[in-house]
Structure 1
Amino acid sequence: MRFAFKTSPQSTSWPDLLALWRAADAIEVFESGWLSDHFHATHGADPATPRLECWTALAALAQATSRLRLGTLVTGVHYRHPAVLANMAATVDVLSGGRLELGVGAGWNAEESDAYGIRLGTPGERSDRFEEACRVLTALLSPQPTTTFEGAHYRLTDARCEPKPLQRPHPPLCVGGNGEKRTLRTAARYAQHWNYDLGPIEGFRRARDVLHAHCADIGRDPATIRLSCQLRHTGDPAETAATARAFAEEGADLAIVYLTPPYTPAVLEPLAEALTRREGTRRSSPPAGPAVRTRPHTPGGPSCCPPW
């Protein structure tokens, strides 16, 4: 299993968030860092709580770090037209030297959607729109020069995304969500990475099996999709590490530890030590970071790439 961390850009200051990410960039145990993407405060916080915009912050963090892969968990596709999002993602991939992980979901937050006049839609509409958005994103970010697409929600005519991202055929697409009929089917078709949100291990096990069944239906090798789980850091590094190991036994490849504000670099070393400890021994050297994959796959269809 490999390890990552996640931060919400709310209930914090930019200097504190930046300090934590810079410190994590120097600790090779953490292969990636992730930001959540909302416009209003979440998790029961006061609605007036300031919250930094995700993609702008991600671009700044790309410049402030040199090793960490970095991504979104997740961007609701209804927030930004997928053609706009594709251009944003390509730019962040270039700025980061090819380190972007593009995490997307169907969207769920009615409160902020209503506040901004952004249509969230019914569950069925969200699923239809999400699948179309995945098709648009992978097409625009692929090496093909233009994209023409005709769907119920999106229409493109000879659309371009230049410059292209550095990663080929495109930055890995991470699909977040556990919807068995639609979201996991979309993940089976388009994702290189599927993420299980905060939840019990039984939910991960069931969603994993459903995802693999969808892969079987379309003839895709499930091993080509990386499986990750999110787990909230309890403040006890040993307890967090034990939870990560339990998910690893169920097939999770990556544990993404959700950190809680106030953010401080002091939390990172004890957590890294606990995550990599085996049978009471201390880690002597960190694992190497992930390689950038370049083996091509067919845009808009099942991937033949190895897991990212």
Structure 2
Amino acid sequence: MIEVAIMIEGQDGIGWPRWKRLVRTVEDCGYAGLYRSDHFTNPEGPVKDALELWSSLTWLAENTERIEFGPLVSPVSFRHPVITAWQASAVDALAEGRLRLGLGAGWQEREHEAFGFDLLDIDRRFARFEEALEVVTRLLRSEKPVSYSGEFYRLREAVLKPRSPRPGGPPIVIGGNGPRRTLPLAARYADEWNAVFIPAGRFAELSARLDGMLAEAGRRPEEVRRTLMTRVIFGREPAAPERERLEAQGVIAGAAPEVAERLGRLAEAGVQRVMLQWLEIDDIEGLEAMASSVLPQLSGR
């Protein structure tokens, strides 16, 4: 059975009242989790409320009992990996082991220029990301003092406490579809690979490539969970040309039967959990209706 979670854009007008309402709805409706982006602002347009990531996740950890949660994804370009690992360990302990730590290289030029962070060129950006993954995984997975010397980060006999209640700390999620950079990093460091905005067929292709990379790294395919983040437009039937365009982008649109059918196809392609991007942040009734009409149809798929 494919698990269904919700994903929201935290920079798209999310303040405390909206966040608390969304958290309670997702918890009460039976969704598997709630995930959010980690940005200061959108790539363009007006600057809206953007509730800071770890503040929001700390509130969620304390005020829910069931759902899993985490960033999709948190950029190492403006969050130092040592601080991220420290925060993640503490929040995971508060939530009794429900955090999934999504990490990324960073990509949005606007926020980096506005706040003075170096995005770097693509090659150096991913070199920094790989070092950050090394730092985070060593700190979270080792109870012994950690030392590391790289181009971007250095540790000397570093230990993080308090620790997550899980051995090895919260699972590391690496998001993206890139076969040249992202998948090799997922094969080496990730506990979960999260694809983004692709249809079922493409997901299956990339998942198979990841299997091969895992074998080369001496890991089993089942060691890395397979998930997908994609947009959902619930309750609206797009016209045929628009439907074709949306399906090519991996977007799920339609009434409950259509949404359930598309989720079934994703399950057949190997998606274990889907994070449905919900942009209608004030449409609580829509979230409730999708839960009550779609989730029961997925039993046994």
Equivalent position SS for 1:100: coil
Between 1:178-187 and 1:205-214, the stretch displaced more is 205-214
Structure 2, unaligned runs of 5 or more: 236-254
What is the number of residues matched between the two proteins?
Answer: 279
Query: Could you say which residue in structure 1 is the equivalent of 2:164?
Result: 165
Q: What CA deviation, in whole Å up to 9, does each residue of 1:116-140 have, x standing for no partner? A: 2211112111221111111111111
Shift of residue 143, structure 1, vs aligned partner: 4.1
TM (norm. structure 2) is 0.86
Check whether the contact 1:142–1:164 (CA below 8 A) recurs between aligned residues: no
1: CA distance, partners of 2:280 / 2:289: 16
Query: Could you say which residue in structure 2 is the equivalent of 1:128?
Result: 127
Query: Could you say which residue in structure 2 is the equivalent of 1:11?
Result: 13
1: CA distance, partners of 2:103 / 2:201: 23
1: CA distance, partners of 2:23 / 2:154: 38
1: CA distance, partners of 2:15 / 2:40: 16
- Aligned match for 2:280, one of 256, 261, 277: 261
1: CA distance, partners of 2:234 / 2:288: 13
Check whether the contact 2:75–2:106 (CA below 8 A) recurs between aligned residues: yes
Check whether the contact 1:101–1:171 (CA below 8 A) recurs between aligned residues: yes
1: CA distance, partners of 2:172 / 2:182: 13
Equivalent position SS for 1:148: strand
Identity of aligned residues (%): 33
Shift of residue 229, structure 1, vs aligned partner: 0.9
Check whether the contact 1:62–1:96 (CA below 8 A) recurs between aligned residues: yes
Match of 2:6, as an amino acid?
A: F
Q: What CA deviation, in whole Å up to 9, does each residue of 1:201-237 have, x standing for no partner? A: 3432332122112112112111211111112120224
Shift of residue 259, structure 1, vs aligned partner: 0.7
CA gap of 1:240–1:13, structure 2 versus 1, over 3 A, is farther
Query: Could you say which residue in structure 2 is the equivalent of 1:23?
Result: 25
Between 1:16-25 and 1:67-76, the stretch displaced more is 16-25
Match of 1:219, as an amino acid?
A: G
Check whether the contact 1:232–1:258 (CA below 8 A) recurs between aligned residues: yes
Query: Could you say which residue in structure 2 is the equivalent of 1:306?
Result: none
Query: Could you say which residue in structure 2 is the equivalent of 1:77?
Result: 76
Shift of residue 275, structure 1, vs aligned partner: 3.1
Query: Could you say which residue in structure 1 is the equivalent of 2:247?
Result: none
Q: What CA deviation, in whole Å up to 9, does each residue of 1:260-298 have, x standing for no partner? A: 13334322332123433449xxx7xx9xxxxxxxxxxxx
1: CA distance, partners of 2:15 / 2:169: 32
Correspondence 1:107-126 to 2 at 5 A: 107-126=106-125
Between 1:218-227 and 1:265-274, the stretch displaced more is 265-274
TM (norm. structure 1) is 0.84
Query: Could you say which residue in structure 2 is the equivalent of 1:156?
Result: 155
Query: Could you say which residue in structure 1 is the equivalent of 2:138?
Result: 139
Equivalent position SS for 2:161: coil
Structure 1, unaligned runs of 5 or more: 287-308
Query: Could you say which residue in structure 1 is the equivalent of 2:86?
Result: 87
Correspondence 1:1-308 to 2 at 5 A: 1-9=2-10, 10-28=12-30, 30-42=31-43, 44=44, 46-236=45-235, 237-238=255-256, 239-278=258-297
